[in-house]
Amino acid sequence: MLKISTNPHMQTTRNTKSIMLDVIVALVPAIIASVLFFGADALRVILISITSCVFFEYLACRYWLKIKNSTTDYSAVITGILLAFNLPSTMPCWMIIIGSFMAIIVAKMCFGGIGCNIFNPALVGRVFLFISFPVQMTVWPNPHFLSLFSPDGATGATTLRMLKSMKTSGEISSDMYTIDELPSYLDMFLGNVGGCIGEISALALLLGLAYMLWRKVITWHIPFYYLATVLVMTSILYYTTGNTKFLPMAHLLSGGLMLGAIFMATDYTTSPMTIKGQIIFAICCGFLTVIIRSFSAYPEGVSFAILIMNAFVPLIDKYAVQRYYGEKK
């Protein structure tokens, strides 16, 4: 029997699943980096997070929404990895499971599953944990390169925490830091610093970015404009005030900025669809990140900045419309 259908009769071989797999491959360097610096603990956090995310999504599809099992598109795996990346390696297992529940059930499935959520699920999970368990969420074990477990269990401050309480001339206080105490830029770039397990190595994240650009999963606009905005703003603040807490390169390389700009802000569902919208979105994210990092009580602002901008995505989509063919602007 012949088939009739509308044109086009050809279709791309890319589908949701292959795109998600590409993102997972892009995340692999960062996973390796996290295991190299935090040992088996990092692997534990990642595995628990992935398992619980996939499990929650399966449960929601099967028993609650009664829709086709959507775990097969691997989006829950990505949420799991990204959530784990935003946690310190000492995070207790049950807290990770609570975070996964928030990410998958509340932030994703409550809105109708893949493609329908307004906020980035992994970030919702992280922010929920961050606000509920501030103590556990701000314990930063020191990196211990190539050893399976932390040899001394020592913890320290993240670069951003140091930047936040930078000593200015004249002040004397024991919990303040000087510029000399900051890790070197090379350490920051490679990931030999304290922090959440996935955010430490800028190099690994950039490798992931390169892979995603090569596979045309994302365009360069969001990461570039996000990072550029942060760099420009901190530079302006640094050179006008001279305050070392605005050290531009330190801001660029530390905290969740790279992770956020490359993997979180570029999430298809929660970012604008047109290039123009994406640029606006990225610049606003960068702006908010610097504002929160510099002037709020929190040392880190990436998750809040992206979540706030997520809420504006429908508005940006409505107004940042691309030019129609033949239309003059």
Interacting residues toward other proteins by CB under 8 A: 1-12, 14-16, 18-19, 70, 73, 75, 113-116, 219, 268-269, 271-275, 321-328
**Phi, psi dihedral angles at 166 (to 5 degrees):** -80, 135
Nearer to other proteins, 157 or 307 (CB): 307
Quick one: 179 or 321, whose CB is closer to other proteins? 321
Instruction: Write down the least CB distance from residue 159 to other proteins, Å.
Output: 34
Query: Between 112 and 153, whose beta carbon lies closer to other proteins?
Result: 112
- Residue 239 CA: distances (Å) to CA of 11, 198, 234, 235, 284: 52, 31, 8, 6, 22
Contact 50, 233 (CB under 8 A): no
**Minimum CB separation from other proteins for residue 322, in Å?**
6
Cβ closer to other proteins: 60 or 252?
A: 60
Least Cβ distance, residue 23 to other proteins (angstroms): 11
Query: For residues 25 and 249, which CB has a smaller minimum distance to other proteins in the complex?
Result: 25
CA–CA separation, 328 vs 323, rounded Å? Answer: 8
3 state DSSP class of 145: coil
Residue 166 bridge partners (DSSP): 177
Cβ proximity to other proteins: between 122 and 197 the closer is 122
CB of 65 to other proteins, least distance (A): 12
Tell me how far, at minimum, the Cβ of 30 lies from other proteins, in Å: 22
Tell me how far the alpha carbon of residue 192 is from its chain's centroid: 19
Structure tokens at 6: 């509308």
Q: In angstroms, what is the minimal distance from the CB of 199 to other proteins?
A: 25
For other proteins, the closer of residues 96 and 279 by Cβ is: 279
* Burial class of residue 170 (count of CB atoms within 10 Å of its CB; 0-12, 13-18, 19+): exposed
Phi, psi at 99, each rounded to 5°: -60, -40
Q: How far is CA 29 from the centre of its chain?
A: 15
The minimum distance between CB 197 and other proteins, in angstroms, equals 26
Long-range interactions of 248-251: CB distance < 8 A, separation 24+: 249/185, 250/159, 250/163, 250/182, 250/185, 250/188, 251/160, 251/163, 251/290, 251/293
